Amino acid sequence: MREAETAVPTRLLRVDPVRPAPEALAEAGAVLRQGGLVAFPTETVYGLGANALDPVAVRKIFAAKGRPGDNPLIVHVAGRESLAGLVASVPELAWTLIDRFWPGPLTLVLLKAGQVPDGVTAGLPTVGVRMPAHRVALGLIAAAGVPVAAPSANRSGRPSPTTADHVREDLQGRVELILDGGPTGVGVESTVVDVTGPVPVLLRPGGVPLEDLRRVAGEVAVDPALVGQEVERPKSPGMKYTHYAPQAPLVLIEPGPGAGPSQVGEAAWRAVREQLAAAPGRAVGLLALRENLPRHREAAAAVLPFTLAEPDQPTPAGGWPTPGVLAVEAGPAGDPGRVAARLFAALRWFDAAGVAAIVAEGVAPSGLGLAVMNRLRKAARAVRRV
Ligand code: AMP
Ligand code: MG
């Protein structure tokens, strides 16, 4: 399909994230029912939605995102009663997880029912389903009156969008309507768990921490593809793609067991100096832990321009004009939830600034830190362990 054939006028509709106007939801629901695409906020990231039961509408999602056809979509529902038409059966353990985590950032992979189009599941016998914890998402699905297939509302390979502006950057002219409900809260995508076998398997870390799952479900296995083992056929097809990648090469500093923020900071500063030396006259992005910012600022003071930026501040047209260090605070090392909420916006901001490279300080892989490190590893060109 040529670009010109896919271009559609994109409308933006502001909605209150807590009390969305019923008229706005009805209008967006009608677009979905008529086979169109609507981008909307969830508690994780913005989604690009289509009627999950309409194969033609579902194909539009893949075209708009440039998404490979073998990467399945998550189907969003407004209530557990909608599961009946989507899945063949719900094992006891799945109900336990639903009772505890829905609505919320947990996607369950279940055996699919016959009426779910193959395009949604990329031909798999299973389907991923979740009930989001966001009034706009729930109101939209209810207004549409159909389950809504929705991957993240970014062009394939770009960081997931956490604001309506990010969606516009990527999908202007490719989506009919964007519901702008402000920035999303969690900031990383849902946790994906396969519950078709005797033991649940974590396929993608996300908004519900693995520790919380284990507290409720007991044993939860981790997919070998997640812990770096080469697998021929990853269970979660999306995990094989270099997702979330910013345009600039990213160097990730990964703390090993026992390594604290200060070791991470030291290694990050060395990496920044190397990147600056390799790109004279350009800026290098530094995603820094809150506790390391003072030392970086001090180290730079005598020798280099050092700027601390906020990801929601506009970048100058044509990119960041001065060489040196362009730092963005990732959040405190002990609060990975805060890091998760800022991560994708920071990566997008560095791209808009046109930095030569990005150095990212990592966190411990516990709680939401597991999802943060998973996304950073996928975005990284190189990983340095300290
Ligand atoms: P996105 O909505 O862009 O966050 O991507 C959805 C991801 O959920 C996919 O890339 C897969 O990793 C996972 N997923 C969705 N459906 C299934 C399924 N039936 N089996 C395994 N993983 C799935
Ligand atoms: Mg995605």
Rounded mean pLDDT, 114-143:
97
Task: State the pLDDT at residue 7.
Answer: 83
Collapse the DSSP code of 163 into the 3-class scheme (helix H, G, I; strand E, B; otherwise coil) and give the result: coil
Question: In the predicted model, what is the mean pLDDT of the chain?
Answer: 94
Atom nearest to 45 CA in ligand 1:
4
Q: Is 236 in the pocket of ligand 1 (CB under 6 A)?
A: yes
Query: Which amino acid would we find at residue 168?
Result: R
Q: pLDDT per residue over 158-197, tens digit each? A: 999 999 999 999 999 999 999 999 999 999 999 999 999 9
Distance 83 CA to ligand 2 centre (A): 22
What sign has the CA pseudo-torsion 142, 144, 147, 152?
negative
Task: State the pLDDT at residue 232.
Answer: 57
Task: State the pLDDT at residue 93.
Answer: 96
Rounded mean pLDDT, 201-229:
93
Task: State the pLDDT at residue 226.
Answer: 85
Distance 72 CA to ligand 1 centre (A): 5
Rounded mean pLDDT, 46-63:
98
Alpha-carbon gap, residue 353 to 105, rounded angstroms: 31
Atom nearest to 47 CA in ligand 1:
2
Cβ(168)–Cβ(10) below 8 Å: yes
Q: Is 29 in the pocket of ligand 1 (CB under 6 A)?
A: no
Given a cut of 50, is residue 1 above it in pLDDT? no
Task: State the pLDDT at residue 225.
Answer: 85
Mutate to test the pocket of ligand 1, among 192, 193, 375 (most ligand atoms within 8 A of CB): 192
Given a cut of 50, is residue 375 above it in pLDDT? yes
Rounded mean pLDDT, 250-264:
96
229 contact partners, CB below 8 Å, separation of at least 6:
none
What sign has the CA pseudo-torsion 315, 376, 189, 126?
positive
Nearest CA to ligand 1 atom 13: 236
Q: How confident is the model at residue 302 (pLDDT cuts 50, 70, 90)?
A: confident
Distance 73 CA to ligand 1 centre (A): 5
Distance 238 CA to ligand 2 centre (A): 8
Percentage with pLDDT > 90 across the chain: 87
378 contact partners, CB below 8 Å, separation of at least 6:
242, 243, 244, 245
Regarding beta strands 46-51 and 148-149, do their DSSP bridges make them parallel or antiparallel, or are they unpaired? antiparallel
Rounded mean pLDDT, 337-361:
96
Nearest to 181 by CA among 27, 15, 55: 15
Percentage with pLDDT > 70 across the chain: 94
Q: Is 151 in the pocket of ligand 1 (CB under 6 A)?
A: yes
Task: State the pLDDT at residue 229.
Answer: 56
Q: pLDDT per residue over 79-91, tens digit each? A: 999 999 999 999 9
Atom nearest to 121 CA in ligand 1:
19
Q: Is 148 in the pocket of ligand 1 (CB under 6 A)?
A: no
Task: State the pLDDT at residue 237.
Answer: 64
Distance 150 CA to ligand 2 centre (A): 9
